[in-house]
Amino acid sequence: MTDDKKPTRNTRSPVRPALGALSGLLAGFAALAVAELVAAGVRPQAGPVIAVGGAAIDRTPTPVKDWAIRNFGTNDKLILQLGILAALVLFAIALGVFALRYRRTGAAGVLLFGVVGAAAALSRPDSTGPTDALPSVVGAVVAAALLFFLIGKLRIRGPAPDDAVSPRDDSSDGAGWDRRGFVILATAAAAASAGTGLLGRALSGSKSREAAASRADVVLPAPASPANAVPKGAQLRIRDVSPFTTPNKDFYRVDTALVVPKVDASTWKLRIHGKGVTKPVTLTFDDLLRRELIERDITLTCVSNEVGGPYVGNARWIGVRLADLLAECGVKPPSKGGRADQLVARSVDGMTIGSPVEDVMDGRDALLAVGMNGEPLPFAHGFPVRMLVPGLFGYVSACKWIKDVELTSFDDYDAYWVKRKWARQAPVKTQSRIDTPKPFARPRAGSVMVAGVAWAQHRGIDKVEVRVDDGPWQEARLAAEDSRDTWRQWSFDWRATEGGHTLTVRATDRTGEVQTDKRTGTVPDGASGRHSVVVTVE
């Protein structure tokens, strides 16, 4: 007996799921492109990727932030943006495939993108109001409509339930759907999205170019109080030791800004107000340049710097004495009866940094800086104006892109990092670092130069010592000192013997405090401990 039926085979084809995924990607691309165009008209920081990234940074646990800074350095923000884009790609692909079966629900799911982006934009501390939600909302609506129509071209012709495909869809080899219509719509969508994105970039770029032009027009006046010449002998001629003055391009950058703010100096203003301010003032950039400027070498340190880490640098800054400005506004330090003990600096990106008024006004060279190493501040380091206070970690003193100074009290207000469990006050700790030899180096036996830098800003370095293995501490040779607000280089001529060795360094500051050997993490007020390197002498 024979069977007249032909054997069946699985005719399921990957073509339509792949095209569904492509539809999701095109919708996601359109959402980002349209959002970028709208953000150019609102403000670039309102774009969904920047807004969501900023919100993610704000909500990231401190240990994770420290891990990212340690492992990625200044690339941490790029990694975050790439992660957000990767998540959006996966979300878009999943929605596109899902929409093949549930067209309306899948298209509506795109609106979730808009809700998340809008909520993130409105939650940012620098939000300017409801208009910040527009880029995400408009982008999501356009993307939802595009996905709906693209999936419509992929549906099999014929009767089917209202929001579900015919059973024939799951086993179709592609016959019956509108190939030509899909190709035309997909191609047009891709081209339109690309054009829209480029237009948005161009419009945003024009604002950046205006800011760049304003920086190019800045001519820094000669300071009324120039910095002393760097003493001869402050820079040791030893290979691999950090230069005494850190070039701008090499100066560390640690902040929460996903995109470096590009502020037009011609429109920039600074407001000083708050508790104890009897004469509030609003200053322009030109107002600052017309004031008496001072120039100083000052070393800055980030609280996220691990023992032996790279987030410390020294530069020559030019700016206005902050204490003088505050005094003109009627502000007095607490020790002289002042009502405010905290100065809250606000950045254009919404960052808030709280500094002790007493420290700002105790005679140290606290600055509103306009220049760095002989040129206007680079954008990455705060152009047009940043604040810095010698002797304090950056998170309590070094507000970049500053736009507002409010006098208040520590009891009344917690700044950004304090809300995240960092200390309210954080003087720089006495630290030292071995720059050479590098960890796991293999120097030859004999004379090996051990050298590096030490810092204790606003106290100064009095002594540096080196220990080989568990031997006695031996005093290193100190380079000439520029000032107590700058780091100091040191060197030690080691008579190295063959084998593995551990080199450890410690510093003593001018108050007599010896760098502690107790190892702590960066939270809540900076890392402590002694830097050491392991080498093998051959």
Q: CATH 2.60.40.650 region(s) of the chain?
A: 431-537
Q: Which fold has domain 431-537?
A: Immunoglobulin-like (2.60.40)
Q: What is the pLDDT of residue 173?
A: 41
The helix, strand and coil proportions of the chain, stated in percent and rounded to the nearest 5, come to: 40, 20, 40
Q: What is the pLDDT of residue 157?
A: 59
Contact partners, residue 303, CB within 8 Å, separation at least 6: 393, 394, 395, 396, 422, 426, 522, 525, 526
Q: What is the pLDDT of residue 43?
A: 87
The whole-model pTM stands at 0.84
Structure token pair of residue 405: 């100074």
CA 55, chain centre distance (Å): 13
Q: What is the pLDDT of residue 13?
A: 55
- 538 residues of the chain, pLDDT tens digit each: 443 444 334 445 567 889 999 999 999 999 999 999 999 989 888 899 888 888 888 888 877 877 777 777 777 778 888 888 898 899 999 999 999 999 999 998 899 888 999 999 998 888 888 999 999 999 999 999 999 999 999 976 554 444 444 434 433 344 468 889 999 999 999 999 999 999 998 888 888 899 999 999 999 999 999 999 999 999 999 999 999 999 999 999 999 888 899 999 999 999 999 999 999 999 999 999 999 999 999 999 999 999 999 999 999 999 999 999 999 999 999 999 999 999 999 999 999 999 999 999 999 999 999 999 999 999 999 999 999 999 999 999 999 999 999 999 999 999 999 999 999 999 999 999 999 999 999 999 999 999 999 999 999 999 999 999 999 999 999 999 999 999 999 999 999 999 999 999 999 999 999 999 999 999 999 999 999 999 999 9
Q: How far is CA 297 from CA 43, 304, 318, 367, 429, in A?
A: 36, 22, 9, 11, 19
State the Cα–Cα distance between residues 457 and 155, nearest whole angstrom.
69
Structure token pair of residue 49: 């990727």
State the Cα–Cα distance between residues 406 and 336, nearest whole angstrom.
19
Q: What is the pLDDT of residue 4?
A: 41
Kindly state the helix (H) or strand (E) to which residue 318 belongs, with its residue range. strand 312-321
Q: 248-420 belongs to which CATH class?
A: alpha beta
* CB-based contact 275:340 (threshold 8 Å): yes
Q: CATH 3.90.420.10 region(s) of the chain?
A: 248-420
